[in-house]
Amino acid sequence: MQNIKGVLFDLDGTLLDTAKDLGASLNYLMAKYGFAQVSYQDYRLVASDGVYPLLDLGFKEQLVNFDREQLRQEFLDYYLANIAQHTELFPGIKELLANLNKHEIPWGIVTNKPAFLTTPLLKCFAEFQQSKSNISGDTLAQSKPHPAPMLLASREINVACDDIYYLGDAERDIIAGNVCNMKTVVVNWGYLKYPNEGDTWGADHIIDEPMQFLQLAK
């Protein structure tokens, strides 16, 4: 693995499968306000896009009859109180992180999730204790696809950008990594909206399962 000097990861849809807890928060609101439940197949597609797209998905045209900020706060309150009830590491992530740790390769996380959610979520998983950098969506004034969070993470793991691989499941991840001259990797196990969506994002690599990443070092 001598060709890998440092690794950065997106969080939702890359390291953690958070969709079911996000969906549970949406469906809590659906039940509270008398709307039909949203299926896993539907909410998974927007799980990493933030609260408002989830509210749009659930309330549809009726959303204009509600206070969006109030709904957002109710969603976040419920999600924070139940943040890791159903969330799991994607299969293979535990093994990948263990391999990076074994070879003393520094790694970190750059997510657009706000810190008041990121911090307690990461504490639920012992595998994240060796992360050298945890950059949230509000750590800086800018978030992905802006390069600033990526540059900060590069400094914190003490690896130059062009020696870093960045793994993510959204186009904003690849844009941010490419701007910083990082080696970008689309993870096909994430919340892509349709098969092969990431083919058009201009990433350096596309992988279907976490342990395939190690083959990039050969």
88-113: string of b/e by CB count within 10 Å (b at 16+)? Answer: ebbeebbebbebbeeeebbbbbbbbb
What pLDDT sits at residue 164? 97
Angle in degrees, CA 106, 111, 112, rounded to 5: 160
What pLDDT sits at residue 1? 65
Q: How far apart are CA 118 and CA 47, in angstroms?
A: 15
What pLDDT sits at residue 93? 98
List the chain domain ranges: 6-17+87-217, 19-81
70 pLDDT above the threshold of 80: yes
- Average pLDDT over the chain, rounded to an integer: 96
pTM of the model: 0.95
Q: What value does the mean pLDDT take over residues 131-155?
A: 98
pLDDT in tens, 97-139: 999 999 999 999 999 999 999 999 999 999 999 999 999 999 9
Answer yes or no: 199 catalytic. Answer: no
pLDDT in tens, 171-189: 999 999 999 999 999 999 9
217 pLDDT above the threshold of 80: no
Q: How far apart are CA 34 and CA 148, in angstroms?
A: 42
What pLDDT sits at residue 201? 98
Q: Which CATH class is domain 6-17+87-217?
A: alpha beta
